[in-house]
Structure 1
Amino acid sequence: MTPRTRTDVVIRTYGTGQVPPLLDTIADIWADAHPELVNNPGASTDGLSVAALRRQVVGHLRHEGFTLVAAYTHGTMVGFGYAFPCTPEYWYGRDLLADIPEHVRAGRLMGLCELAVSPSWQSQGIGSRRHAE
């Protein structure tokens, strides 16, 4: 099945200082998009909980170039994703770094950390548009 592409979706980009007021909204979207984690008590011990997501986002706000991209329809946020420029050492870690080809390690790297779309808005091209943005 080919995903439908919505034309009534507005994409907005936010920098570090603009994200804290959005934390509740993105946490709700993430929870809705990941019910298998939210409803699994073991997930929280693995760091896969709403509280862990909040800590992760707040921790990543310190990275210069942090960008959150949000999708809105009818004034309501229905999806988000965020990323930040980082070094190969940071992204891959010391244990994997030796296995990463040199041309990848030498290039620019943007760490894409989360992409989530509310279930009722999935398969409509929203995630693809945010990723491209």
Structure 2
Amino acid sequence: MTTPPHPTDVVIRTYGPGQVPPLLDTLADIWADAHPELLDNPDAATAGLSVPALHRQITGHLKHPGFTLATAYTDGTAVGFGYAFPCTAAYWFGPGLLDQVPEGARTERLMGLCELAVRRPWQSRGIGTRLHTALLTAIAPAWSSLLALPSNQRGHDLYTRLGYAYAGPYRNTPHGPEFDLLLLRVTPNPAQQHGP
């Protein structure tokens, strides 16, 4: 078995919405490799956690201004990706949670982080952190938020290390699965705070 390369051998590239459609199959393959437990689970498919649902989700999100995809490559092969876009608090949190999040998350620049996936052999090597950093750099939000399944312990461990905190339960649809809504107050880069 070949040992995956050290994270310094991984290159992160960012893409705008017009560059994403040719990458959709690759992104879906990474997602499937990162979430094998969902592939043959009919409940997951019913809840919208499937490769076809991912295609629809990404395609639907391409319309958002500021949409950014970050992809990790090693030796020319994509091993991870994440995507996000700036959005309003009303859009992201919905009426049920809008009044429960901190005021800054409602009034300052907010990034909706929609996916962050790394192929199994490359997990726990800092690639997810680097993808997250690339998205924060590109979008420059004051706050970031995401949804995670409560059962996704590996994901929760990463998001905790990145500084996210639980903000409440969230459902995309009335009968869909309950997600954990996670929220991060982004610490400004000192260079951004003080200028040149």
TM-score by length of 1: 0.94
Task: State the partner residue of 1:49.
Answer: 50
Q: Structure 2: 5+ residue runs without aligned partners?
A: 135-196
Higher relative contact order (CA 8 A, sep 6+): 1
Task: State the partner residue of 2:74.
Answer: 73
Task: State the partner residue of 1:84.
Answer: 85
Task: State the partner residue of 1:29.
Answer: 30
Q: What code does the residue aligned with 1:52 have?
A: A
Q: Structure 1: 5+ residue runs without aligned partners?
A: none
Report the Cα distance in structure 1 between the residues aligned to 2:53 and 2:97, rounded to whole angstroms.
24
Task: State the partner residue of 2:41.
Answer: 40
Aligned residues: 130
Report the Cα distance in structure 1 between the residues aligned to 2:87 and 2:22, rounded to whole angstroms.
24
Report the Cα distance in structure 1 between the residues aligned to 2:19 and 2:104, rounded to whole angstroms.
34
Q: Deviations over 1:5-59 (max 9, x none)?
A: 5211000000000000000000000011001111211111011111111100000
Task: State the partner residue of 1:117.
Answer: 118
Report the Cα distance in structure 1 between the residues aligned to 2:99 and 2:85, rounded to whole angstroms.
22
Task: State the partner residue of 1:93.
Answer: 94
Q: Deviations over 1:47-88 (max 9, x none)?
A: 111111110000000000000000000000000000000000
- SS at 1:62's partner residue? coil
Q: What code does the residue aligned with 2:100 have?
A: D
TM-score by length of 2: 0.65
Q: What code does the residue aligned with 2:98 have?
A: L
Shift of residue 101, structure 1, vs aligned partner: 2.1
Name the Cα RMSD after superposition: 1.1
- SS at 1:7's partner residue? helix
